[in-house]
Structure 1
C-alpha cells in the first residue's frame, strides 16, 4: 500500500519518517493508527502516530483502532498493520528494533571466510580461533547434503533457526549441538572475536530491510572475495569477519523472532559450491485451507548459482497431489531445468505422488509478502 502525506500534515509526516521531529519512528516501533475518513480522490485518510496520511486500501477494511509496526525507514518507510500478529509482544519488538539494522545476508561472511582460507598467515592465529573458524566452515553444507531428503532435513534443523529449542531438549547432546549448528558456530566465533577487539559498530543504514518472512524468498548472488593489500596482514580480514559474523547472527535472530507463532519458517543454508560458497533460501509454510477442507505444505526456495543464475521454485503438497512451479532468470537455465522434467515425473510417479502441475517460466516472480497482515509502504 503506497501512503502519500496529506497537504496539511506533509511536514509532520516527512519529519517523522526521517526520524527528526518524531523520535518514536524507529525500526520495530509500534504506533497507534486509526482511519479518519475518505478524501475526494477515494483515498483513505488515516492517523498514524502524530502524522495524518492518505492510503489506497487494496482490499478489505481496517478496524476502527489498530497498530502498525515500523519495518523500515528511508525514502519509503514500510509499516505493517498488526492485529493478532505474534510479534506485537513488546519484548519481541525491542529485540527486532535492535537486530533489524544490524542484520545482513550470509554472502559477505562467506566471501570473507573464502579470503581468509587463502591467507597462509591464518595458521598463526590462536588455536581456539582456528578451531572456531573450522567449525563454522564445517557447518557449510554440500550440494549432496541438500539433494537428499534426510540431508535437507538435517540442514534445516541445524540452520540456526531451531538452535535454542534443540538445546532445550533434555536428551540433546549440548556440546555437539553447539558445534554442528550454524548459529552455535557463529556464537562461538563471535565470542572469541569479541575478546580480541570491541564489537564492531552496527551498520549505519538509512533504509533497513524488513524481516525475511515479510519479503518472501529471494535469490542471493555470490559476492567476490574482498581484495585487501598485504598477504601477511590478516587483521583487516579478521576485523571484517567480526562485523560479518555479528550481522549473520542478527540475521538468524530476526528470522527466529519473526517466525514467532506463525506456521511458517524462513531458513537460509550456506552451501559449498564450485570455486566459492552460495546461499540456499528455503521457506516452509503449513497451510490449512478451511474453505477447501485441505491442508498441506508449501515449500519455496531460491538459489543463485554462477553457472545458472537466479532460480526460484514453489512446491505445493496436498497429499497425494503436488504442484511444482519454477522460475529462472535466464532462458538457457529454464531449458536445462525443463530437460529434467521427464525423469522427475517418473520418480514422483514411482513414489505415488500425483503431479498436478510442473512448469518453468523465464523471469523471476514478484515476492508475495503474504505473511504481513498488511504492509504499508510510505512515501515521505
Structure 2
C-alpha cells in the first residue's frame, strides 16, 4: 500500500531536527508507525516514530501498527513502507542500496573531458586506455540523435536495456559490449577497481535524491572540474573517475529498477557538444484507455550552452500530435518559434495531424505521477 504524506501535523521538521526525534531518523532505520485518525481537513494523521504527519487517506485499510524504513533525509525525507510479516521485495532492497550511491552523468563527462586533454594519459596502463576510449565512443553526436534511427539506436544502447538484450538468443555479444553505454561503464569500473584497489565507491550524503521517475524531467548543465584537478595529476583524476563511474552505474541501475514498477522509461543519453559534453534526458510513457485506444508521451530535457535549459513534451494519439516546448531564455523561445513553419510542413508531409505546437518562456514545474514504492514526507 502506498501512502503519500504531505506535511507534518504535530511537529515541524525544522524543530524536530534539532531534538531527540531526529536522532532516530537515520538512513536505514526502521520506525514504528500507526494511524491516528482523520483530521477536520479530511487528511489522515499518522504517527511515525516521534513525529506525526498528514497524508491523503489510502485506498485500503491500514493495519493498526506497521513499520517504515528511512531511505533519505534532508528537507524532504523519504520513507519506505514495510508490509508486516512480508519479506522485503528484491527490487526495494536493490533500490535502497543504489539510491545513496547514484549521481548524474555530468561529473563523469567532465572528468572524461579533462583526461582526454592530459598528455600524461598516454602513460596509463595499456589495458586501461581502450576502456576509456570505449566509454567516449558511447557519447552520441547531435547528428545521430536528430535522426529517427539514430535516436532509436541511442535509446537502445543507453544501458537501460542491456540485460534484456543480453538475454536474446540472436544478440551479437561483441557488438553489444562495445556499443552499450552501461557495458562500457561496467568494463571501465572493473579495470579501475583493479588499478586503484585501495579506493572503493562510497555512499552519498544525507541529501540523497529520489529516483528519476519521481523527480521528473530536469535539464542538466555541464559541470567543470575543481581547479586543483586541472593539472597533470592523472592518478587524482582517475580516482575521481573511479567514484563517478560507479555513481553513474548506480544511476542507470536505479532507472532500470524503476522501469519494472511503472509503465515508463527514463533514459539519459550523453551527447558530444561544442567544447564539451551534454546530457539528453528522455521520458517515454505508454498509456492505454478503457476504450482500447492508446497514446505515447515523449518528454525531453536538455541544457546546452548556446540555448540554455530546454524542455519539451510530445503526445501522440493515433495520428494526432501535440507538441509543447519550454525554454528558460527569451531569445531561445524566439529561435524555436522561428522554426515552427518548417516543422508544420514536415509533420504534414508525414500524415500527422498537429493539434498543438507552442513554446513558452520558463520551465514547467518538475513533477511525475510515479511514486510507486516510496512513502515521502515533505516538510
State whether residues 6 and 55 of structure 2, in contact with CA within 8 Å, keep that contact through their aligned partners in structure 1.
Answer: yes
Task: For 1:111 and 1:133, locate their aligned partners in 2 and report how far apart those are by CA, in whole Å.
Answer: 13
Root-mean-square deviation (CA), in Å?
2.9
Separation of aligned partners in 1, 2:247 and 2:13: 37
* Residue of structure 1 equivalent to 2:195: 196
Q: Secondary structure at the match of 1:324?
A: strand
From 21, 25, 42, give the equivalent of 2:24: 21
Cα displacement (A) at 1:207? 1.4
Following superposition, which runs of at least 4 residues in structure 1 exceed 6 angstroms of deviation?
A: 8-17, 66-69, 80-83
CA distance in 2, matches of 1:260, 1:362: 35
Q: Hey, what's the Cα distance between the residues in 1 that align with 2:257 and 2:187?
A: 21
Query: Hey, what's the Cα distance between the residues in 2 that align with 1:226 and 1:139?
Result: 25
Look up the match of 1:267.
Answer: 267
Matches of 1:109 and 1:251 in 2, distance apart?
A: 12
> What's the CA shift for 1:162?
0.5
Q: Secondary structure at the match of 1:189?
A: helix
Q: Deviations over 1:190-245 (max 9, x none)?
A: 00000011343414411110000111110000112443367442111111111111
Per the TM alignment, residue 354 of structure 1 is displaced from its structure 2 partner at its CA by 0.3
Runs of at least 5 residues in structure 2 that lack an aligned partner in the other structure: none
3-state SS of paired residue (2:171): coil
Is the contact between residue 102 and residue 249 of structure 2 (CA under 8 Å) also seen in structure 1? yes
- 1:104-146 CA distance string (max 9 Å, x none): 0000000000000110110111111000000000000000110
Other structure's SS at 2:315 match: strand
Residue matched to 2:60:
63
- 8 A Cα contact 1:215 1:367, kept in partner: yes
TM-score, length of structure 2 as denominator length: 0.88
Partner Cα distance (2:306, 2:157) in 1: 27
Distance 1:8 1:192 in 2: 48
Contact 1:278-1:304 within 8 A present in 2 as well:
yes
Flag structure 1 segments of 5+ consecutive residues without an equivalent.
none
Deviations 1:153-181 (Å, cap 9, x if unpaired)?
00000000001111111111112211110
Q: Does 1:185 align with 2:184?
A: yes
Paired position in structure 1 for 2:106: 107
Contact 2:8 2:51 in 1 (8 A): no
- Give me the whole-angstrom Cα distance separating, in 1, the residues matched to 2:228 and 2:112: 13
Aligned with 1:169: secondary structure?
Answer: coil
Find the aligned partners of 1:370 and 1:263 in 2 and give their Cα distance.
Answer: 11
Counterpart of 2:239 in structure 1 is 239
Give distance in 2, aligned partners of 1:187 and 1:375.
28
Aligned: 1:75 with 2:75: yes
Q: Matches of 1:215 and 1:263 in 2, distance apart?
A: 16
Aligned length: 368
Distance of 1:8 and 1:223 partners within structure 2: 35
How has the CA–CA distance of structure 1 residues 102 and 373 changed in structure 2, closer, same or farther, with 3 Å as cutoff? closer
C-alpha deviations, 1:281-312, integer Å up to 9, x for none? 0000001122x652121000000000000000
Tell me the TM-score normalised to structure 1 length: 0.88
